[in-house]
């Protein structure tokens, strides 16, 4: 009976130690969970503030990108309008030069015709004078 009581006491002491160890382990686990929860809460807060800052930055950059895209489109339209304007000026200048060249060619052709007419007239006068001279020498 005594040995059963001793065994029982040893078992109870061993059981009490295991329970105590488990309680200590549970307290440590609870402390770690609390620390982890606090850490997670802090990390979450940091993450949320970082996320908010990044979203604000993205909104700002998107706004800048949209502004720059509009500026590029405006510059492209201006460049196209400038090109069309320059093309019009170039075409007008080309047309004026072509007309001037046509007039020059026409004036040269007119001068050539006048010169030919003058040469024909001079040759006709020479021929007539030659006949007169021949006529003078035959009558004299």
98-113 tens-digit pLDDT:
999 999 999 999 999 9
Three-state SS at 140: coil
Q: What predicted TM-score, i.e. pTM, was given to this entire model?
A: 0.41
54-89 tens-digit pLDDT:
999 999 999 999 999 999 999 999 999 999 999 999
How many CB atoms neighbour CB 132 within 10 A? Answer: 10
Three-state SS at 134: helix
Distance CA 71, CA 89 (A): 26
Distance CA 50, CA 56 (A): 10
């Amino acid at each position: 009976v005594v040995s059963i009581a001793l065994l029982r006491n040893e078992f109870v002491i061993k059981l009490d130690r295991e329970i105590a160890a488990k309680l200590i382990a549970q307290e440590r686990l609870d402390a770690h969970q609390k620390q982890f929860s606090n850490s997670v809460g802090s990390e979450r807060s940091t993450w949320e503030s970082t996320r908010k800052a990044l979203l604000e930055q993205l909104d700002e950059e998107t706004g800048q990108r949209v502004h720059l895209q509009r500026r590029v489109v405006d510059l492209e339209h201006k460049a196209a309008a400038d090109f069309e304007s320059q093309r019009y000026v170039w075409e007008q200048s080309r047309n004026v030069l072509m007309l001037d060249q046509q007039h020059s060619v026409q004036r040269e052709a007119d001068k050539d015709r006048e010169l030919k007419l003058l040469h024909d007239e001079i040759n006709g006068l020479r021929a007539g004078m030659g006949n007169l001279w021949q006529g003078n020498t035959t009558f004299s």
